[in-house]
Structure 1
Amino acid sequence: MADINPSAENVRAMLTEALGRLRKANADYFELLEKGLASSPLPIAGQARELCSLMQRNVTASFDLGEKLIQAKDVPDALKLQAEFFQDQMRAMTDQARTVGESAMKAAGGMFSPKT
């Protein structure tokens, strides 16, 4: 049976490796999704690509938080990182809601404009 050494550094190394694999799988997924959307004949493909980009930024921010938490020295440090992440995500959500709203208004406006 293999020796199991649950030292903090070994746990950090295993978590870092797992997070790296998750990042790669995530990047592959979004690459495939973007390729599918790029070849889509649907009229809302542009908006879908925009939403895909927003999702990708949010997931990347979560992975970045994971990396920071792996390196946290103690619980107060981890709580500080989590609070900063939450504040950043709330700001990003506000900006993203504005962007999506503007995009939806443009799309809806195009539906009602006269065709010439």
Structure 2
Amino acid sequence: MSTRQPHQTASELRAFAEKGVEQARGAFGALVANARKASDTLQSSADTAHSSGKAVLARGLELTEQNITAGFDHAQKLVQARSLKDAITLQAEFARNQLAALQAQTKELASLARPAKA
């Protein structure tokens, strides 16, 4: 038979339970700290993406307006062309200019879309 007294066993169980509660509290504290850190990181990434997205959208709208204006300007020139040869020359020049502009615009938008490097 055991020589332990009932109050000694109860004290040991209480100490064991208290230790378990403290360990659980510590684990929970670590979990909350890690969750906050992850949340902060996610928020920072989201802020960066949002800012970058706003810049791309704003510049994209500006470039769209430029391209549409160029198209209207080109249409006006075509209407005033005096011959088919002049119209073909104007069309070829417009196509070259727009292709070059689109290439430059694509590079610009891609650089705006890249996340900032710390």
- TM-score grouping bracket, smaller chain normalisation: 0.5 to 0.7
What is the Cα deviation at residue 101 of structure 1? Answer: 1.1
- Per the alignment, residue 33 of structure 1 pairs with none
Bigger RCO of structures 1 and 2 (CA < 8 A, at least 6 apart): 2
What is the DSSP-based 3-state SS (H/G/I as helix, E as strand, rest coil) of the residue aligned with 2:116? helix
Matched, 1:86 2:92: no
Stretches of structure 1 that go unaligned for 5 or more consecutive residues are 1-41
Aligned length: 68
Counterparts of 2:105 and 2:99, CA distance in 1: 10
Stretches of structure 2 that go unaligned for 5 or more consecutive residues are 1-49
- Per the alignment, residue 76 of structure 1 pairs with 85
- Per the alignment, residue 66 of structure 1 pairs with 75
Provide, for residues 47-71 of structure 1, a one-character-per-residue CA deviation record: whole Å limited to 9, x for no partner.
2110000100100000000000010
Counterparts of 2:81 and 2:75, CA distance in 1: 10
What is the Cα deviation at residue 45 of structure 1? Answer: 2.3
- Aligned-residue CA RMSD in angstroms? 1.5
Q: Contact between 2:55 and 2:112, CA under 8 Å: does it hold in 1? A: no
Structure with the bigger percentage of helix: 2
TM-score, normalized by length of structure 1? 0.54
Counterparts of 1:84 and 1:48, CA distance in 2: 28
Counterparts of 2:82 and 2:72, CA distance in 1: 18
